[in-house]
Amino acid sequence: LRELLKTTRDGEFDHFKSFKHLIIINYYGMNYANFSGILSQGLRIAPPKASPVTGYMFGKVAICFVYDEFFEKH
């Protein structure tokens, strides 16, 4: 590990404080443009032109969780 970054947006922690017990750390390989977009605008609903084949695995929202563990247990 060479660097560890932490960033927050004004008011975001207070907004999600009641959901703190549901937060799961999620890291996956992505390009810099996607990462900077998530940091500046947060996770967003998939646009209408998103591919149903690749973009809607869990519906039309961005959901981050470790799904392979979920499927192993259910």
- Return the half-sphere exposure (C-beta side, CA atoms, 13 A cut-off) of residue 35: 10
**Placement of tokens 């500046």 in the chain:** 40
**Are the C-beta atoms of 51 and 66 separated by less than 8 Å?**
no
The tokens describing 71, both together, are 């499927």
The tokens describing 54, both together, are 């690749």
**Which of 17, 49, 60, 73 is flagged as catalytic?**
60
Catalytic status, residue 49? no
Catalytically active residues are 60
